[in-house]
Amino acid sequence: MNPSPFQVTSRLVKDVAVVYPQGYLNNLAGEGLVSECSRYARTGIKKVVVNFGKTDLINSIGISLLLHVMEELQAVEGTLCFTDMSKVQVDIFEMLGLSKFFLFFPDEDRALQFLNVRER
Amino acid sequence: MELGKALFNIAALADLGEEITSEKNFQEKLHSLLHVVLGTFLASRGAVTCQDRSGDTMAFVARRGFDDLSPAAIDLGRIRSAGKNEPFLNADDAALAAAGVEVVTPLWVRDEFIGTILLGRKFTAEPYSREDFELLRVISHQVAITLNNHALFLNLSEQLNDNRKLYEEMRRIYHDTLQAFAAAIDAKDMYTRHHSQRVARYASAIARELGWSDHDIEGIYVAGFLHDVGKLVISNELLNKKTPFTEEEKAEIRRHSLVSYKIISQIKFPWKDVEKIIKHHHERLDGTGYPDALSRDDLSEGAKILTLADSFDAMTSERAYRRKMDLRSALIEMNSCLNLQFDDKIMLAFCRVLDKEIKGELPEPDILPHLGRESDLTVISAMLEGLIEELSGQKDGG
């Protein structure tokens, strides 16, 4: 089965950017995720939630792209939250020692609660 | 090494293989390969450099970060003296250190230095491990082969391009020579100036209408140019004689197609049967032509095309012994000779292409520009439409 083409959508919830990568984060189309996060960072948004609920798999290219996102938020002392990740993905990030650079949440609501954002 | 990390490394190698064999363009491929390397070693800065063909300078072919690093500042001597595809920690090169390069891998294929992979520190700030270096050595080897293959491909492409230019140049010279040769043939007879050139164009236009390949069209074009080469051995007085030929003179004139064949047979053409097409351009479907008195089934399509093209030009040109025919009269004459002299399939193609030229449907007409302007083209077009309908019906009806 061919993986679905990668695409990114996002929305702003108060001062938090919620980004939804969709598809297989394995190719250069994934740079759309980096540019989406950069776009918010340039407008002063320092809190970013990336919802991986519709991301099938993350390979080495995907990790390289996420390093970029982590670095950008680190530079502005922002907060990066990852949600809706599969256990396999969480295990990989922990094994690589990357989990200290962002926060894991089971779902988007809990990430937004943590960031003190209430949706109406 | 723990199992999870080993599996991650294997997956990284699989990612590398997938990118190397992908159909992306070379620049995208290198960009992806760099991302594979960065993601595998958790480096947020990295670059792939490639040596130019002179071997004097390096250039970045993919990079993330290292914006202040100039390839010219890299000490290539130091890198070349390190082990082939063996990563090492940068300790001595101040320019690399200043740019944040922590690991350097010289890329080699056999005895050829290709370039480097440069990596910055790990995002996690951990040091590079022995296992990292082992994996990087394997990856570097694959990247080096990819870069080398691309360089080989470029070399081949350049050679191919040079050969193509050379071929085109030779082809142009060849055609110029043919034209000069044809002009020499036609110059023997003051009434047949440019005859060979016109026959070549008419024949190739018919062949194109019949769906011949470009290669075969070029072949019949050449046959058209050379079909009368045998006239070189016939005296000018005879060719330009204004009174009717005697039987003996007719026999002498008729020798030209066989002489043409004998001359042309000495040339090894890249096109099939040029000499036979030339030999048979005065044959007739009814078997009364010369030199071999062949009939319809024995004649090639090329010979039938050349016969019609040659006859049409003869009819529509001045001759020493008669005035030229107008286009309408020539078409009537050709139609009356169908299945005796001319093949109906070739006649149909000829009518179609001429009709298209009259209607302006062909950007570069081959026939119309060579015809006199005295004919009413509206009338001719209507006549051609009638002929096309008639010939199409005959063809469909077998």
User: What does B154-200 look like in DSSP terms, one character per residue?
Assistant: HHHHHHHHHHHHHHHHHHHHHHHHHHHHHHHHHHTSGGGTTHHHHHH
A97 vs B contacts (CB less than 8 Å): 42, 124, 126
pLDDT higher than 80, residue B31: yes
Say if residue B362 is in the same domain as residue B300. Answer: yes
CATH of the domain at B280: 1.10.3210.10
Give chain B's domain count: 2
CA distance A19 to chain B (A): 21
Say if residue B126 is in the same domain as residue B211. Answer: no
- From residue B319, alpha-carbon distances to B190, B241, B243, B249, B256 in Å are 9, 10, 11, 16, 17
Which residue did the predictor score with more confidence, B150 or B398?
A: B150
Residue A120: per-residue pLDDT: 53
Give residue B365's domain range: 188-396
Say if residue B281 is in the same domain as residue B326. Answer: yes
CA distance A69 to chain B (A): 10
- C-alpha B23/C-alpha B194 separation (Å) is 52
Across the interface, of A68, A91, A95, the residue whose CB is closest to B44 is: A68
For chain A, which domains are there?
7-108 (3.30.750.24)
* Residue appearing with tokens 């099939």: B272
Say if residue B193 is in the same domain as residue B230. Answer: yes
pLDDT higher than 60, residue A2: no
- Reading the block at residue A17, the tokens are 């950017």
Which residue did the predictor score with more confidence, B1 or A36?
A: A36
Residue B180 lies in a domain: no
Confidence of residue B396 (pLDDT cuts 50, 70, 90): low
CA distance A28 to chain B (A): 7
Residue B93: per-residue pLDDT: 84
What 3-state DSSP class applies to B347? Answer: helix
pLDDT higher than 90, residue B11: no
Confidence of residue B1 (pLDDT cuts 50, 70, 90): low
How high is the ipTM of this complex?
Answer: 0.89
Nearest CA in chain A to B123: A67
Q: Is residue B102 a contact partner of residue B119, using CB atoms and an 8 Å limit? A: yes
CB neighbours of residue B114 within 10 Å: 23
Mean pLDDT for B215-220 is 95
Residue B35 to residue A64, Cβ atoms within 8 A: yes
Confidence of residue A3 (pLDDT cuts 50, 70, 90): low
Q: Which residues pair with A74 in a beta bridge?
A: none
- C-alpha B245/C-alpha B251 separation (Å) is 9
Tally the C-alpha atoms within 13 A of residue A115's C-alpha that lie toward its C-beta.
29
Residue B124 contacts A where some CB pair is shorter than 8 Å:
yes
Say if residue B213 is in the same domain as residue B105. Answer: no
Query: Can you say whether the dihedral through the CA atoms of B207, B212, B213, B215 is positive or negative?
Result: negative
- Return the DSSP state at B127: P
- C-alpha B213/C-alpha B364 separation (Å) is 18
Residue B142 lies in a domain: yes
Q: Average pLDDT over chain B, rounded to whole? A: 90
Say if residue B153 is in the same domain as residue B94. Answer: yes
Say if residue B155 is in the same domain as residue B193. Answer: no
- pLDDT tens digits for B242-265? 888 899 999 999 999 999 999 999
CATH of the domain at B47: 3.30.450.40
- C-alpha B225/C-alpha B306 separation (Å) is 10
CB–CB contacts below 8 A, A to B: 62
Across the interface, of A62, A91, A97, the residue whose CB is closest to B39 is: A62
pLDDT higher than 60, residue B398: no
Write out residues 35-64 of B within 8 Å (CB-CB) of A: 35-36, 38-40, 42-44, 64
Say if residue B195 is in the same domain as residue B335. Answer: yes
Say if residue B251 is in the same domain as residue B388. Answer: yes
Residue B348 lies in a domain: yes
- Those residues with Cβ within 8 angstroms of residue B173's Cβ, 6 or more apart along the chain or in another chain: none
At B263, which amino acid appears? I
Longest dimension (CA), chain A: 41
pLDDT higher than 90, residue B353: yes
Residue B133 lies in a domain: yes
- From residue B220, alpha-carbon distances to A102, B202, B348, B349 in Å are 74, 10, 18, 15
- Reading the block at residue B166, the tokens are 């050379």
Across the interface, of A60, A65, A92, the residue whose CB is closest to B40 is: A60
Say if residue B206 is in the same domain as residue B355. Answer: yes
What 3-state DSSP class applies to B45? Answer: coil
Q: What is the DSSP string of B86-97?
A: --EE--S-HHHH
Residue spans of beta strands (DSSP E) within chain B = 46-51, 58-64, 88-89, 103-109, 112-119
Residue B1 contacts A where some CB pair is shorter than 8 Å:
no
Nearest CA in chain A to B126: A97
